[in-house]
Chains A and B, each alone.
Chain A
């Protein structure tokens, strides 16, 4: 019965095209987690006020719990799982490990994706710019000092690489 309500959509998730049947009221976070196997993204507040579910849609950071999956036809979506390639960590992830950016880790997938969006736009952000860019991501462990250091260090790594 439920199958009738579903609609097939095509997403490119971390570079891989996926076809998935979704109901119209399903959020992107629900579909990515339950139907696409991307449990790396977390859902914490369910209303866009914490950023744990942050993904990039066509390069733009948004809370995926506030986005309808059915509206993402043809979009390119990046989740935290797409960052490391063949077991090699992305510089942001490396920086997160070095600077102890994760405590409980529940905010990290979202925080890291917001950082990726920031550094794509602004490769050398000031401390205030970092804080502002992460203004939609809550870390309830209050690990912001380490997180800001991690973003700074990631920016440096990425600039050196480029």
Chain B
């Protein structure tokens, strides 16, 4: 690992100024499970000049319910969220997504804010410098995506963003999307639907370089805790998803009043399945309808040579997740 300067932030304002004062690239570290991997593999073209520690900022590690809404401090860990009785009861999709993230050890350190800000896991993007040097892929400023002509078995089935076909790997992201969360930062409040963007280069969110997530707010379920999360991965622990999916339904009088469905690990950003959501509105959720929703979710899919299987998986996981909601 390369050297960098390390600072402990005392407040969020302090953290922001520490970022702004940096002469070179600067990163914040909370749990660090994603950042440490990037640092160890030395995967950025410009090595970070400084790392700003957020764990020294008091009062960011909380899980609270206020007026029915869930408030997650930026430093709340995935373990805490997965094990919270309130979250399990009211927002089961989120609790399950947290529980299925990485491994127990990584969940102990990983934070919810870090989980939605993590870098993608594309093999080319992540290629370590220890065995022949870093690969400068399109996401890092290179000319072209190397996965398209190379190995893309786990890449996007919905096309590229700025030539990049990496996928967003987060498990909690789709859960927060379907629960219509709001991400509060040092600068603004961002509706979750607008939070993820791979359009801006190496990062996966709309955050400015000197902007830090402070809190995530999840509104109270409207009619009942009808949310669910599913993940397909090779292993039951550690692995990133081949495909994951979250869904949240508002069900009144036995009928779906509104639905939010989100697939992840299928595209650069978490992908809402709007056509499927529309389909469900006003109807009773049955196995058949769920399957139809699954088919609609992948109607626009454009798989590559190696990843057609993810279309079938995505289709299936959408219908399975919907059925889990009731």
Contacts and interface: CB of A to CB of B under 8 A. Distances in A.
A and B touch in the complex (CB under 8 A): yes
Q: What is the interface of chain B mostly: helix, strand, loop, or mixed? A: mixed
B6 A48 contact: no
A135 B55 contact: no
A60 B36 CA distance: 19
A109 B33 CA distance: 21
B3 A24 contact: yes
A62 B109 contact: yes
A25 B1 contact: yes
Interface residues of B, number: 28
B3 A5 contact: yes
Contacts of B51: 24, 68
A134 to B, nearest CB: 8
B53 A71 contact: yes
A66 B6 contact: no
Given A24-B6, A25-B4, A63 B37 contact: no
Nearest to A5: B3
A136 B237 contact: yes
Contacts, number: 84
B57 interface: no
Interface in B15-39: 29, 32-33, 36-37, 39
Nearest to B39: A25
Given A61-B104, A71-B53, A136-B105, A48 B4 contact: no
A49 B103 contact: yes
A70 B53 CA distance: 10
A101 interface: no
A25 B2 contact: yes
18 contacts: A23-B3, A24-B4, A24-B51, A27-B36, A48-B36, A48-B105, A51-B105, A60-B109, A62-B108, A63-B105, A66-B37, A71-B8, A114-B104, A132-B104, A132-B237, A135-B104, A135-B236, A136-B102
